[in-house]
């Protein structure tokens, strides 16, 4: 019995030490070495770009975690091919439609999304992928055309990709809203994999986005966390079919190590979310 207790104590101490190692590593890279982790070697023009969208009150909201290079028409064709739908504009009819979809549990695959803002303008495009029988759960992404120059002279779009996990009251108010899932990196990766699987992406790489965040809050008060990277996808001109699937361009070694730490840290966050 004593040997069993010693084994159990050692096991839990070992697990605790393992978790502590990764937590300290993540904190080190978040606070002690920010300059080492800031990288724009693949697209230097994104360095001064915004990192977080704002709500109508001008407060920080969803983090910007994706970017696309291509024309409006190429982006529209890419998402349609991937099975995503453009979100309807916000009108009285669409507003009643999404409320009815949630309450009566019937599909509305083009339900409107609330407006977020960059440079004082709302999103130029929004796409979604409905999950289940209603608009209660959905993947979605908002995109803004930036005017930021890139070597190819094609349009560059910044985006905020999040997953709506439920509907409820906004934190601290009686306003009804969608609540997002905290792992915004998972939604970033889902968007890029959907486009990659269906053919139009010819290049992918990452740059520094919102930065490593453990306890972020969007405009509705929803908690989120992120490894801080923004993934950029280049759409093939005219959506021409590619010959081979592109690989993600490598990150600098320090960023790669940081992402490895975050992989394990996010596993812990899913099991033990902060209150």
Return the pLDDT at 12: 43
pLDDT-derived band at 8 (thresholds 50, 70, 90) equals: very low
pLDDT tens-digit readout, 226-237: 999 999 999 999
More confident residue, 255 or 175: 255
Percent above pLDDT 90 for the chain: 53
Percent above pLDDT 70 for the chain: 82
The pLDDT mean for the chain works out to: 84
pLDDT tens-digit readout, 194-206: 999 987 899 999 9
Question: What is the pTM assigned to this prediction?
Answer: 0.84
Return the pLDDT at 10: 45
Q: Confirm if 241 and 199 have CB atoms less than 8 A apart.
A: yes
Taking every pair of Cα atoms in the chain, the longest distance, rounded to a whole number of angstroms, is 71
């Amino acid at each position: 019995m004593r040997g069993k207790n010693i084994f159990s104590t050692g096991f839990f101490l070992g697990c605790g030490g393992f978790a502590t190692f990764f937590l300290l590593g993540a904190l080190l890279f978040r606070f002690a070495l920010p300059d080492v982790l800031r990288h724009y070697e693949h697209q230097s023009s994104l360095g001064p770009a915004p990192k977080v969208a704002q709500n109508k009150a001008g407060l920080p909201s969803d983090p910007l975690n994706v970017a696309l290079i291509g024309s409006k028409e190429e982006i529209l064709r890419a998402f349609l091919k991937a099975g995503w739908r453009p979100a309807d504009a916000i009108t009285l009819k669409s507003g009643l439609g999404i409320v009815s979809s949630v309450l009566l549990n019937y599909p509305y695959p083009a339900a409107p999304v609330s407006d977020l803002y960059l440079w004082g303008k709302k999103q130029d495009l929004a796409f979604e992928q409905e999950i289940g029988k209603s608009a209660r759960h959905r993947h979605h992404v908002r995109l803004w055309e930036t005017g930021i120059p890139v070597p190819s002279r094609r349009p560059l779009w910044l985006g905020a990709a999040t997953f709506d996990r439920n509907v409820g009251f906004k934190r601290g108010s009686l306003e009804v809203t969608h609540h997002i899932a905290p792992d915004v990196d998972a939604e970033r990766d889902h968007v890029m994999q959907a486009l990659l699987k269906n053919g139009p992406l010819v290049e992918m790489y990452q740059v520094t986005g919102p930065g490593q965040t453990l306890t972020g809050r969007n405009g509705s008060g929803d908690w989120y966390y992120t490894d801080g990277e923004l993934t950029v996808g280049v759409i093939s001109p005219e959506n021409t079919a590619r010959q081979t699937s592109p690989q993600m361009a490598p990150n600098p070694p320090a960023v790669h190590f940081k992402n490895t730490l975050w992989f394990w840290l996010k596993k812990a966050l899913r099991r033990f979310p902060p209150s």
